[in-house]
Amino acid sequence: MRPLTVRLHVAALRFFFVKTLKRRYLLDDTPYPKAPQRLSQILSVEEVARVIDAADSLSHRTMLMVLYSTSMRNAELRHLQLGGYGYPIRRRVGDRRRASAHATR
């Protein structure tokens, strides 16, 4: 069995002992297998160009270009704001407007 499947079965057994039988579950009795770590696949420059060119819209293309050029994660890109780069900072409820380095006063 794969290590993640074994871990799922061990979690089910732990739930059975602790919640159903109301007994202590000793972790020493059950070994956890280690999942093998895989290396991430690196795309060639041509493959990256094909992925960017296949984007449906300008916003998708821009997001792919930013992800590739900055090596940031998808979650970081989703929380990225345009403030501080010559664009106005979005206001959230309860926030005060912040001045950026490029803002004119």
pLDDT, tens digit, 9 for 90 and up, residues 9-56? 888 888 888 888 888 877 767 777 887 888 888 889 999 999 999 999
Structural domain contains residue 100 = no
Structural domain contains residue 2 = yes
- Give yes or no: residues 13 and 45 share one domain: no
User: Structural domain of residue 54, as residue ranges?
Assistant: 39-82
- Answer yes or no: pTM beyond 0.75: no
C-alpha 64, offset from chain centre: 15
- Encoded amino acid at 71, one letter: S
Q: CB neighbours of 16 closer than 8 A, spacing ≥ 6?
A: none
- Give yes or no: residues 11 and 44 share one domain: no
- Give yes or no: residues 48 and 16 share one domain: no
Structure tokens at 41: 């696949």
- Give yes or no: residues 15 and 30 share one domain: yes
Structural domain contains residue 93 = no
pLDDT, tens digit, 9 for 90 and up, residues 54-63? 999 998 998 8
- Give yes or no: residues 63 and 50 share one domain: yes
C-alpha 57, offset from chain centre: 23
- Give yes or no: residues 11 and 25 share one domain: yes
Cβ(63)–Cβ(77) under 8 Å? yes
Structural domain contains residue 91 = no
C-alpha 42, offset from chain centre: 17
- Give yes or no: residues 25 and 49 share one domain: no
